[in-house]
Amino acid sequence: MDAITVTNLVRSYGTVRAVDGVSFTVGHGEIFALLGPNGAGKTTTVEILEGFRTRDSGEVRVLGQDPVTGGRGFRERIGIVLQSAGFEEEFTVRELLRLQATLYPRRHDPDELIGLVELVDKRNTRVKALSGGQRRRLDLALGLVGAPELLFLDEPTTGFDPAARHRAWALIGRLRDLGTTVLLTTHYLEEAQELADRVAVLRSGRLVAIGSPDELRGDGGAPATISFTLPVGVDPGDLPSLSGEIHTGGHTARVRTHAGVVDLQALTSWAVEAGHGLDDLTVSPPTLEEAYLELTGEAGHDR
């Protein structure tokens, strides 16, 4: 049995279908990323899975239970890290974690969690004195204190600097190694590519793609990029006719193309015939971000 099973999920607000026939599964021990632009239906879907919002139709099972009727036993098995959360400002970090731990029959040791999220030097600091990044790490510790089988992470590294973000990624990866299932929402496409075993992309309430990050990069319809150093004395106008768009900057030329093999052959044949070298020649597949922008219809838009 999968950790999460969603079949033909529908949720409407008036005449607007926020979630329109969505189906997917999440396996035990998997990190699954749910992506999509604002208004795509991510928040509604996740809130239904958490049991905070009802559905109009469709079947949902989380850890084998219906989230709406699962009750306390269900909630004791999941952890939730919201995008923003309120705290009791006068508690210290350690006091707040110890208090939260008493609510669960299974629990992680609060002091171990403090070390895990790198707040050891702040354990006796009142919450009101924490920085934004430190509060986010406390959010994560609170989501883990009940030793959840399934952890919901909503934009978990918002407000983190790059070094802290990479440390958080390492921590989330360790949770997977320990068997914790993670459902992640994020606007950092690099984060999804780094962490997720599989990714689902929502657009206007519908599921438009699902698969591993590499599968989406290959199947999302985004162009590949051919990059090389312009030969000495060659202007962009001297290059052969290619199906892709040619962009130059300094001495570097980049070709964004949906026909990588054809354009690469045309380019190398031209270089051989003209006696030119193509230094630093590389062919790069689309990134997950480029595939995502194609899938959501945002490619070419200002971000």
- Percent residues over pLDDT 90 in the chain: 56
Indicate if the pLDDT at residue 208 is higher than 50.
yes
Is 162 part of a structural domain of the chain? no
DSSP string, 164-175: HHHHHHHHHHHH
Indicate if the pLDDT at residue 85 is higher than 80.
no
In this predicted model, what pLDDT tens digit does every residue of 89-143 receive, in sequence order? 889 999 999 999 999 999 999 999 998 888 999 999 999 999 888 888 898 899 9
Given a contact cutoff of 8 angstroms between Cβ atoms, the answer to whether 184 and 31 are in contact is: yes
User: Residue 265 is part of which domain span?
Assistant: 223-285
Is 276 part of a structural domain of the chain? yes
Is 231 part of a structural domain of the chain? yes
Indicate if the pLDDT at residue 149 is higher than 90.
yes
Q: What is the pLDDT of residue 301?
A: 46
Q: Sort 150 into a burial class: Cβ within 10 Å, 0-12 / 13-18 / 19+.
A: buried
Is 254 part of a structural domain of the chain? yes
Q: What's the whole-model pTM score?
A: 0.80
Q: What is the pLDDT of residue 124?
A: 95
**Domains in the chain: how many in total?**
1
Average pLDDT on 62-68 reads: 95
Q: What is the pLDDT of residue 235?
A: 87
Alpha helices in the chain (DSSP H): 42-50, 71-75, 93-101, 110-116, 132-144, 162-177, 189-195, 213-219, 260-274, 288-295
At 52, the pLDDT band (50, 70, 90 cuts) reads very high
Is 235 part of a structural domain of the chain? yes
Indicate if the pLDDT at residue 88 is higher than 90.
no
Q: What is the pLDDT of residue 182?
A: 96
The torsion angles phi and psi of 157, rounded to 5 degrees, stand at -110, 20
Residue with the bigger pLDDT between 214 and 185: it is 185
Work out the end-to-end distance of the chain between its first and last CA atoms, rounded to an integer number of angstroms: 39
Rounded to whole angstroms, what are the CA distances from 86 to 111, 117, 277?
Answer: 21, 18, 60
Is 265 part of a structural domain of the chain? yes
| Three-point CA angle 285, 286, 291, nearest 5° | 145
Compute the mean pLDDT over every residue in the chain, rounded to the nearest whole number: 89
At 229, the pLDDT band (50, 70, 90 cuts) reads very high
How many CB atoms are closer than 10 A to CB 172?
21
Is 218 part of a structural domain of the chain? no
CATH number, domain containing residue 268: 3.30.70
Is 261 part of a structural domain of the chain? yes
Q: What is the pLDDT of residue 220?
A: 58
User: Rounded distance, CA 175 to CA 150, Å?
Assistant: 10
In this predicted model, what pLDDT tens digit does every residue of 240-258 receive, in sequence order? 999 888 988 888 999 988 8
Tokens of residue 133, six digits = 């990044």
